[in-house]
């Protein structure tokens, strides 16, 4: 195989692992998203935070943490599922060509609480887990003996999407053939207190109604916990080992707005350019995109700026694309948000389904596109766009294309009537029962 061929070879997704507040594995999370079933609640027991004042979408882990950072077992659960899903045999693969790109995360901040006189838990993380933001990345690489690139970045809530982007670039640069990529996150008391002080956290008498992206009455975002990890690899590598392929990562682009630490440029010229760049590199036009998974935090400024950028980039084609904000279901997972929403986008491609935006009853006039309000729908699109708009001006766009080869990918589920459920109502349409390790 020539160097030129390797550099242009498709990069594909062959495994997905996920855990969130609405499910402890990929398919249960996806089914909750399809049904529009969230799991927000007022939180109790967060050190330094008054009970029942913060809404969150947390994960109840069955195992004891025993002083460990919660982000670590969340990541381990998603990684284990992604590897199993991909069917990769670690005993029959060159581990020196297997890399790891996992998002940075918060460390142990209890020493700050100690200065404030807040009682500390009896057990605390080991010293090597306390400080380094790349702890999860290093832990996973060591656990599975991965000798390829070990990469970690910290770019606010675009972090895990950039982790996937970085993994793709590592494969294209011939540093490895296959990588684990994504991220995990768990509530941190200091983060919770900081965002509460900024007054960007949404609250409501009914916590499941708190997050309202693109709605005129939106109040802010809701914290979420969880993890999403992908196995991505060169197409030739995937085919040689008989992998089943979800989608091709056609392109990705990242830009900085250089505007404000927490604010977004309302004119959205940078976002418009970013989207156009990602589409151009993917060799698709706006009319080819059938679904956009928006950053969609539910904050007044973010939603308006994102809507303006989409409208500017898609022009007359905007009305023909479904745009949903799945933070209304999963909450905002911060460092894990981009990967979790990319996983939802990938599963939407697999099943031909556009997830809903919950709690959208009175669309903001500025959000002039199809936000898939309250109820998801069948939509067999071939190309999808994932956006992340993070604090610090980190903007990321990624284009995915469905893998339509029936021999090496997933067939569409049988044709069914349009979905008629959403916002917590279980419906008749179920996720397909598929053999996730089916070979060619």
SS3 401: strand
Tokens 């991965």 sit on residue: 146
Examine the residue annotation and report whether 105 is marked as an active-site residue of this protein: no
* Nearest alpha carbon to residue 306 among 368, 262, 377, 382: 368
Give the residue carrying structure tokens 């009853």: 361
Give the DSSP letter string of 264-302: --TT-HHHHHHHHHHHHHHT--GGGEEEEE------HHH
Angstrom CA distances, 140 to 125, 150, 151, stand at 17, 10, 11
- The pair of structure tokens assigned to 335 is 């460092």
Q: Exactly one of 157, 176, 211, 371 is catalytic; name it.
A: 157
Is the CB of residue 183 less than 8 Å from the CB of residue 226? no
Of 332, 367, 383, 394, which is the active-site residue?
Answer: 332
336 in helix, strand or coil? helix
Alpha-carbon gap, residue 177 to 282, rounded angstroms: 21
Q: What is the largest CA-CA distance in the chain?
A: 63
Residue found by looking up tokens 């020196």 in the block: 96
Cβ neighbours around 90 below 10 Å, total: 11
Q: Is 295 a catalytic residue?
A: yes
Dist CA 83 CA 103 (whole Å): 18
Helix (H) / strand (E) element for 72: namely helix 71-86
Q: In 10 A of CB 199, how many CB atoms?
A: 8
157 catalytically annotated: yes
Please tell me which residue in 105, 295, 383, 394 is annotated as part of the active site: 295
Do 252 and 278 meet the contact criterion of CB atoms below 8 Å apart?
A: yes
- Cβ-contact 159, 183 below 8 angstroms: yes
The whole-angstrom separation of Cα 141 and Cα 161 is 19
3-state secondary structure 186-224: CCCHHHHHHHHHHCCECCCCCHHHCCCCCECCCCCECEE
Catalytic machinery residues: 157, 295, 332
């Amino acid at each position: 195989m020539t160097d030129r061929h390797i550099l242009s070879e498709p990069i594909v997704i062959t495994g997905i692992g996920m855990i969130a507040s609405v499910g402890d594995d990929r398919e249960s999370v996806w089914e909750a998203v399809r049904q529009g079933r969230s799991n927000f609640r007022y939180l109790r027991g967060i050190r330094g935070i008054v009970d029942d004042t913060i809404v969150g979408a947390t994960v109840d882990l069955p195992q004891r943490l025993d002083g460990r950072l919660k982000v670590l077992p969340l990541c381990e659960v998603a990684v284990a599922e992604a590897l199993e899903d991909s069917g990769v045999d670690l005993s029959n693969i060159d581990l020196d060509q297997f890399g790891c790109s996992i998002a940075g995360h918060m460390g142990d901040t209890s020493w700050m609480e100690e200065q404030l006189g807040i009682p500390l838990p009896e057990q605390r993380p080991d010293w090597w887990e306390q400080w380094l933001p790349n702890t999860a990345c290093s832990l996973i690489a060591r656990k599975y003996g991965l000798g390829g690139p070990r990469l970690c970045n910290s770019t606010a809530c675009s972090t895990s999407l950039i982790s996937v982007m970085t993994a793709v670039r590592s494969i294209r640069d011939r540093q490895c053939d296959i990588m684990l990529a994504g991220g995990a996150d768990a509530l941190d008391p200091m983060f919770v207190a900081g965002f509460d002080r900024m007054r960007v956290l949404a609250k409501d008498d009914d916590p499941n109604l708190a997050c309202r992206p693109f709605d005129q009455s939106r109040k802010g975002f809701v914290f979420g916990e969880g993890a999403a990890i992908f196995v991505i690899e060169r197409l030739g590598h995937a085919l040689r080992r008989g992998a089943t392929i979800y989608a091709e990562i056609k392109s990705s682009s990242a830009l900085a707005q250089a505007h404000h630490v927490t604010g977004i440029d309302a004119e959205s010229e940078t976002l418009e350019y970013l989207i156009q760049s990602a589409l151009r590199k993917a060799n698709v036009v706006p009319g080819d995109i059938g679904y956009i998974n928006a950053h969609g935090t539910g904050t007044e400024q973010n939603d308006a700026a994102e809507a303006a950028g989409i409208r500017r980039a898609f022009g007359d084609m905007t009305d023909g694309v479904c745009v949903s904000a799945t933070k209304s279901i999963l909450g905002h997972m911060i460092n894990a948000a981009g990967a979790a929403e990319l996983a939802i986008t990938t599963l939407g491609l697999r099943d031909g389904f556009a997830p809903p935006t919950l709690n959208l009853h009175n669309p903001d006039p500025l959000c002039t596109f199809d936000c898939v309000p309250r109820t998801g729908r069948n939509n067999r699109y071939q190309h999808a766009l994932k956006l992340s708009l993070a604090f610090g001006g980190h903007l990321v766009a990624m284009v995915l294309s469905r893998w339509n080869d029936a021999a090496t990918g997933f067939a569409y589920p049988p044709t069914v009537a349009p979905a008629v459920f959403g916002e917590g109502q279980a419906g008749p349409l179920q996720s397909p029962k598929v053999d996730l390790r089916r070979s060619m």
